[in-house]
A = this chain, B = another copy of it.
């Protein structure tokens, strides 16, 4: 298996391209627009909601994988039917498309998660509210939310009434977490599973802003617990490719699963510089059923800071003048306020230094330095 097709032309597909070049695997990208972030690779423009186009694209590759989780599952089943592997499988992907299905599956697997309930036409709203510990709680649209979109902290059901009229809404306990973590791992088609050390993620407005990785103050028991949870999910759900498990750490040292993604994930960008194997290379190896690479960290610490809005070469240049150690990734996307346009990674042996450098470079690139 050497030809990998990726559905989606965003920055995740873009960053699979260097990994594919390094190891010598052919990558083809099915992108919605000609001028996508992934245009640096071999892109084919098409509509992923069009079954015929997707099947045609699938015929020319050995395995189909994803930059996002929005492809209709029925279409993927058709791609499988014509003989192309789909990784992760439609069954696994279903859990990332629908947060209610994800909660149900995690409950079935007895994986620790926030208390949750569903509200909709035929549910008992009072019972649901009681199940999540009352207000305030978190309301989530089960389908299509990302980066804080489709998520609200509510003090009454009226605050999500517009969603309820559209269909079921997921309610979740508002977890009093001390910290958010992300456990990245990957599972190969034939079953091998390998995890990177758990990383800390920091969000602003529901969007990941920074990732801190390395020998940060995470208890061994928490780290081991995070690994175990990821491994159980990966095998039980038959995940193939990278699996990101976003976690809440609670004051009493418990961890609860917040979200799942079955593809390279923003919280794993730091691994490109910090780990022997990047999440992008690992994802390609996993879906091509090649042995997984070492997940060891090369340096003691790494920090990733997202850049929103725009990354210009002029701003990059200014940032590099002050921070020559900053690795500045530009996604070459059209500028838009709040849009993830790139990221900065710095690795090193002193966390305060690394954090200061990453933030300093980020601020300059973002035009706020």
Give A residues with C-beta under 8 Å from B. Answer: 2, 14-15, 17-18, 20-25, 40, 273, 276-277, 285, 288, 290-294, 296, 298-299, 311, 313, 316-317, 320-321, 324-325, 327-332, 342, 347
CA distance A346 to B327 in the complex (A): 21
Q: Apart from A24-B329, A24-B331, A294-B325, what are 4 other A-B pairs with CB-CB below 8 Å?
A: A14-B21, A22-B329, A24-B313, A292-B324
Is the CB–CB distance between A298 and B347 below 8 Å?
Answer: yes
Per the bound structure, the CA–CA distance linking A183 and B2 in Å amounts to: 37
Q: How many copies of the polypeptide does the oligomer hold?
A: 2
- Which one, B24, B329, B331, contacts A330 given CB within 8 A? B24
The 6 closest A-B pairs by CB, nearest first: A24-B330, A18-B18, A291-B320, A294-B325, A294-B324, A21-B40
Cα of A125 to Cα of B115 in the assembled complex, Å: 91
9 example contacts (A-B, Cβ-Cβ < 8 A) are as follows A17-B18, A17-B40, A22-B330, A23-B316, A276-B327, A294-B325, A296-B325, A298-B298, A298-B299
Chain B residue contacts of A23, Cβ below 8 A = 316, 328-330
B residues near A299, Cβ cutoff 8 Å: 298-299
- Which residues of chain B come closer than 8 Å to A298, judged between CB atoms? 273, 298-299, 347
CA distance A288 to B316 in the complex (A): 12
Given contact pairs A17-B18, A276-B327, A293 touches B313 in the complex (Cβ within 8 A) = no
| Cα A311 to Cα B23 with chains together (Å) | 10
